[in-house]
Structure 1
């Protein structure tokens, strides 16, 4: 069946089916990951991101292409997990930009949307690497632009675009040496192909399975009865208009409350204000156009975990960590909020933003403590109204070192500089196990092998945890090293960790050795060398 145009309903079906196809194949995508450690895998992260997008899209009732695409962009942005999820959210953000003002899409429109998706994704990555999902979205968008000039059928275009994408995907090992060594194609690129396959299936008559369960957001309300709040209702909404006068609206509502924020243009205006008469504010908004995303919160009836009204403190710190012991260490060194996450569980942009919102501070430092969380942290920063500084820590020891270098008496730029310098002075070693068979830099790795990792590189492979620990430390301890800190995981008993620490102290007699319970899953030991 030839399809010359797709409307909002069809686009919604495409998103739902794309999510389902990716969900069904996420394990396949996970298994393409070159790095064999049990970390936040590409397929899982992309699937979680798509599920968030799907939930948002399904909430759109009788929307046109613009409305559905906007929901797709917003849902994926807030649910983005890991680098692959963040890049996917940027792809959908670009796609949404091209759909602005569109009731339907024809072949040319769809091709331009893919082209904008590619440009936006590339623009969001500081140092784009070819042979990744970026290469795939660029290649399929270029092919779509070519087809859009000669083809009218969107189904036929998608079929040809997917074929081209698969062809380019098969060449990614020639673009990235690490893929060739492992004998796999790029995981993120394959995930994107699965999503496009879902789009194609939706348009060609495949049955879309209705989801019977929805994610529930739980909230416990507690009456605070704080009579000191002058304006009790936090009122927010978006105005969709054709000729809104933003400055005029500001003047009309500025005396109705405080904490006013009115931003946007003549077509879309975001309004936020604390007022005692939300109806009056809404009435002014209705004079300009249709209201969406209306939200009114009685600030005297706060969520249980919301901070009471008080002056902002100068600094706050958010850290991402996994393991009871490590979480407690961060709390002991005055980290305000520890987000549970790291290996296998990358927090979303929304998770990080909620942590930022929960801290009553003017300046907030984020410590991702994992390379796969840095992009999501930066997206949360962009969404926050506070001054957020992302310290790009990739490991737990780097995060702890950065916090130790922080001084609440220093200015923001001095703290940022000192925390970044401290992070770079710390070497990290990790002992874990392989979750799949692979070849990494000419090293044959079997499932279940014990791996020693130094700052993201596999340097030892063996069968015994303590042996690999010694071999790993020989790789990272040098004549300038003074302190070796050992964090033992949930699968290691204290006596075993203490015995290893004694052996390390004998082997590296010029270093002080410290032992802490980390409680982290999957990683038997984490070493900090400084």
Structure 2
């Protein structure tokens, strides 16, 4: 057990995130099973887990930045990273509210982490979360958060662990009362799922500060509940059809107008954040209108739209025998792979997916056997961790170590569900291994490379992950890269164009291949918004 520090320092914050992630990992399935409000889509535990995973990753990044130096991160650095990580990684209604709770705490804990500041932090968190929800409902996570703050506030002069113990016990007591406060919970015979998750997070905070959770029987959760879409305030049609979530860069006054517009469009509206960055969550029938409202307010990105009915159909149907889950670097490739039958995970520039997102995609595939294509050498360990967790849940997972999107496309092209699992994995691995990959990138600064010294703004041609060509323009560099790759032979060239790359580049490179290399075909795809202007594969 961690030593009692009498103050919540950076190490304790790091431990808190780690313990909270472990607790939510253990309780994820049980929390998913009791998720009946605001929509019975069975994902509250998963959403909370992914939100905390993002927060924990941000805190780890702060500590990693100090590993090579003589300094250590301060409490302010750690709590701000935790809050920012939760904000950008928040998933679902519950995850978005948790992100605001952590943000409210961070604003106070950045000043100090003693018992008095922790009491105030819990109060600020509960208040901030209520303000973020358009129409607060009692019997939810908001009720549990308020109870924790009230219980902590009654411990004036107490030590840190006593404050946190009171908050934890207050939250548990409030959670037990939620079925009597919210009719849909009482009918199902369960406590609020989001509140159950918050109790796990507060228990982890108590443990991180050196306290001990007192054991007592909790209300049992059912093994599963029917995903009917019922909620306490739902209309005759069962509520809105879509969940829309996005990050938004916008000014405060624009967000005030956005809240009003989204509130008129749907329900379950939660807008959290500040200082120009917001996480927006709403349930609507017109998903396009919700996104357009974000465009009018500022710059929305990482847009995620979930169709509740489609999710219920996937949850209710029998599992398919085999599926493919692929990480893709752009929305264009996401559509291409989805058309080929794969479940995709979008890796945006500078935002690689966490293991929890890959596990979530494996679950969404709803298959007994899954072939996982990470399509990035840097995701090897993340994908391996996701595969291991999915195997623990009873899914047979094979990880094909694809190091680039073009290798994933080659593997997906030979995927054949009618074969035995082992034969299919071998064929996909062979196709990926037979595909050399390259990409073009723009040098950000002067540096040494395997091809010599590059200057900021130079075009770099990377072949199999190493810089092989340094050029001044995209076309000439791409031609040189193709020539080097095709000198060893090849039958098919795959070109994946970035969002701002003109079609003329593909036409010019295709002509270059036809003129110089007989019997070599070229295929072109639009990758959408991806980090590299051009990806190249040679099979």
Structure 1 length as normaliser, TM-score? 0.51
Q: Once the 2 structures are TM-superposed, how far is the Cα of residue 210 of structure 1 from its aligned partner?
A: 10
Correspondent of 1:192 among 51, 67, 71: 67
Partner of 2:334: 327
Q: Once the 2 structures are TM-superposed, how far is the Cα of residue 366 of structure 1 from its aligned partner?
A: 1.0
Partner of 2:438: 429
Q: Once the 2 structures are TM-superposed, how far is the Cα of residue 188 of structure 1 from its aligned partner?
A: 9.3
Partner of 2:417: 408
The answer on 1:318 being equivalent to 2:325 is yes
Q: Once the 2 structures are TM-superposed, how far is the Cα of residue 289 of structure 1 from its aligned partner?
A: 4.7
Partner of 2:484: 475
Contact 1:52–1:76 (Cα < 8 Å) also in 2 = no
Q: Once the 2 structures are TM-superposed, how far is the Cα of residue 490 of structure 1 from its aligned partner?
A: 0.7
User: Structure 1, residues 430-458: CA drift from partner, whole Å, max 9, x if none?
Assistant: 11211232212362122221010111011
Contact 1:52–1:75 (Cα < 8 Å) also in 2 = no
Change (3 A) 1:516 1:85: same
Partner of 1:354: 360
Change (3 A) 1:433 1:359: same
Change (3 A) 1:372 1:210: closer
Correspondent of 1:217 among 91, 94, 101: 91
User: Structure 1, residues 322-379: CA drift from partner, whole Å, max 9, x if none?
Assistant: 22321122122221x1111064220011111111111221011111100111211111
Partner of 1:366: 372
User: Structure 1, residues 1-39: CA drift from partner, whole Å, max 9, x if none?
Assistant: xxxx941654664244x7xxxxxxxxxxxxxxxxxxxxx
Change (3 A) 1:211 1:420: closer
Q: Secondary structure of the residue that 2:412 maps to in structure 1?
A: helix
Partner of 1:309: 316
- Aligned partners of 1:195, 1:380: CA distance in 2, in Å? 34
Contact 2:451–2:467 (Cα < 8 Å) also in 1 = no
Query: Please, which runs of 5 or more residues in structure 2 have no aligned partner?
Result: 25-47, 95-187, 197-213, 230-307
Contact 1:322–1:341 (Cα < 8 Å) also in 2 = yes
**Which fold has the larger relative contact order, with Cα–Cα distance below 8 Å and residues 6 or more apart in sequence?**
1
Change (3 A) 1:330 1:208: closer
1:110-129 equivalences under 5 Å are none
Q: Once the 2 structures are TM-superposed, how far is the Cα of residue 219 of structure 1 from its aligned partner?
A: 4.2
Change (3 A) 1:278 1:190: closer
Change (3 A) 1:409 1:58: closer
1:110-509 equivalences under 5 Å are 190-193=65-68, 197-198=72-73, 201=74, 215=87, 216-219=90-93, 289-290=215-216, 298-302=225-229, 304=309, 305-306=311-312, 307-335=314-342, 337-341=343-347, 343-384=349-390, 385=393, 386-441=395-450, 443-478=452-487, 480-509=489-518
Contact 2:59–2:78 (Cα < 8 Å) also in 1 = no
- Aligned partners of 1:486, 1:452: CA distance in 2, in Å? 14
Going by fraction, where is helix more abundant, 1 or 2? 2
Change (3 A) 1:412 1:347: same
User: Structure 1, residues 194-247: CA drift from partner, whole Å, max 9, x if none?
Assistant: 79702xx45xx9997798776343249xxxxxxxxxxxxxxxxxxxxxxxxxxx
- Aligned partners of 1:468, 1:88: CA distance in 2, in Å? 38
Q: Pairwise CA RMSD of aligned residues? A: 4.3
Contact 1:316–1:363 (Cα < 8 Å) also in 2 = yes
Change (3 A) 1:395 1:6: same
The answer on 1:14 being equivalent to 2:11 is yes
Partner of 1:79: 53
- Aligned partners of 2:415, 2:70: CA distance in 1, in Å? 43
- Aligned partners of 1:289, 1:362: CA distance in 2, in Å? 36
- Aligned partners of 2:78, 2:357: CA distance in 1, in Å? 33
1:34-53 equivalences under 5 Å are 53=18
Change (3 A) 1:208 1:300: closer
User: Structure 1, residues 143-186: CA drift from partner, whole Å, max 9, x if none?
Assistant: xxxxxxxxxxxxxxxxxxxxxxxxxxxxxxxxxxxxxxxxxxxx
Contact 2:454–2:470 (Cα < 8 Å) also in 1 = yes
- Aligned partners of 1:86, 1:373: CA distance in 2, in Å? 17
- Aligned partners of 1:290, 1:211: CA distance in 2, in Å? 30
Q: Once the 2 structures are TM-superposed, how far is the Cα of residue 317 of structure 1 from its aligned partner?
A: 1.1
Contact 2:451–2:469 (Cα < 8 Å) also in 1 = no
Q: Once the 2 structures are TM-superposed, how far is the Cα of residue 478 of structure 1 from its aligned partner?
A: 3.0
Partner of 2:100: none
Partner of 2:163: none
- Aligned partners of 2:495, 2:481: CA distance in 1, in Å? 13
Contact 1:12–1:57 (Cα < 8 Å) also in 2 = no
Structure 2 length as normaliser, TM-score? 0.50
Contact 2:50–2:357 (Cα < 8 Å) also in 1 = no
Change (3 A) 1:12 1:189: closer
User: Structure 1, residues 418-477: CA drift from partner, whole Å, max 9, x if none?
Assistant: 111111100112112112322123621222210101110110011110110111112111
Contact 1:433–1:522 (Cα < 8 Å) also in 2 = no
- Aligned partners of 2:22, 2:538: CA distance in 1, in Å? 47
- Aligned partners of 2:9, 2:218: CA distance in 1, in Å? 19
